[in-house]
């Protein structure tokens, strides 16, 4: 059996004291070969779980374990985010540089790569999502679909071991969806994909889990 790369261990989390927790003791493991879909109704806690797994939120009980180490504090997650990439549901939350190339190269530069190495990685990632001629474009001038593809290129350029994707095809046309499918199916990384698009999930994942009433069940 392949090694567990990242896991949520009996994680509970809620936003409001007077309401039941969104997540009520969720355990989820991602191994090196896993390509897992995460489904559930709006508000079920799917995005919350992804945020917990990279330390953007803190569990009220339970913990996240990454690469064999329990992660409980912000400093524990600094190293995790070098190997686990999260694609946000809203691309505007991920794009903040003056040009597309700078946005996509930001991750590799932050990992300590030399500027030319980061540039090559960024250009290769843009090519994978079908936007090789967008390097000099201004991100906020792009369409919603183009922004989604640039945001994906930004996480692909980091060459993560684990990729967490929150609604990666939202706002994309058919061509954009095909580009995303091609890019993801060419990866060696473990995938956890949140999406409402059953056809897309059937083509990029092998297993499906559903969040329902704070619990995780096999679909």
pTM: 0.93
Note the pLDDT tens digit of each residue in 121-134: 999 999 999 999 99
Note the pLDDT tens digit of each residue in 67-119: 999 998 999 999 999 999 999 999 888 899 999 999 999 999 988 999 999 99
Q: Residue 1: its pLDDT value, please?
A: 54
H-type alpha helices, 157-197: 174-185
CA dist 200 and 82 (Å) reads 27
Q: Provide mean pLDDT across the span 45-62.
A: 96
Q: Residue 3: its pLDDT value, please?
A: 85
Average pLDDT over all residues of the chain = 93
| pLDDT score of 171 more than 70 | yes
Burial class (CB in 10 A: 0-12, 13-18, 19+), 95: buried
CA dist 132 and 116 (Å) reads 17
* In contact, 6 and 34? CB cutoff 8 Å: no
Note the pLDDT tens digit of each residue in 23-50: 999 999 999 889 999 999 999 999 999 9
| pLDDT score of 189 more than 90 | yes
Q: Provide mean pLDDT across the span 146-166.
A: 95
Give the strand pairing for 190-194 and 162-166.
parallel
Q: Residue 33: its pLDDT value, please?
A: 87
């Amino acid at each position: 059996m392949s090694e567990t790369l990242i896991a949520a261990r009996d994680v509970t989390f809620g936003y409001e004291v007077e309401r039941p927790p969104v997540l009520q003791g969720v355990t989820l493991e991602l191994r090196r070969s896993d390509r897992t879909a995460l489904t559930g109704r709006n508000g079920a806690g799917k995005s919350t779980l992804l945020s917990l797994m990279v330390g953007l939120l803190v569990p009220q009980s339970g913990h996240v374990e990454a690469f064999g180490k329990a992660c409980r504090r912000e400093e524990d997650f600094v190293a995790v985010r070098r190997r686990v990439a999260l694609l946000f549901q809203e691309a505007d939350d991920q794009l903040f540089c003056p040009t597309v190339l700078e946005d996509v190269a930001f991750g590799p530069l932050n990992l300590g790569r030399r500027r030319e190495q980061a540039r090559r990685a960024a250009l290769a990632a843009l090519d994978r999502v079908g936007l090789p001629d967008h390097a000099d474009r201004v991100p906020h001038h792009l369409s919603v679909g183009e922004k989604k593809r640039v945001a994906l290129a930004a996480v692909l350029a980091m060459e993560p071991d684990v990729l967490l994707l929150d609604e990666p095809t939202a706002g994309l046309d058919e061509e954009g969806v095909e580009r995303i499918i091609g890019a993801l199916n060419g990866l060696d990384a473990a995938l956890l994909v949140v999406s409402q698009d059953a056809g897309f999930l059937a083509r990029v994942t092998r297993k499906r889990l559903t969040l329902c009433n704070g619990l995780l069940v096999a679909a």
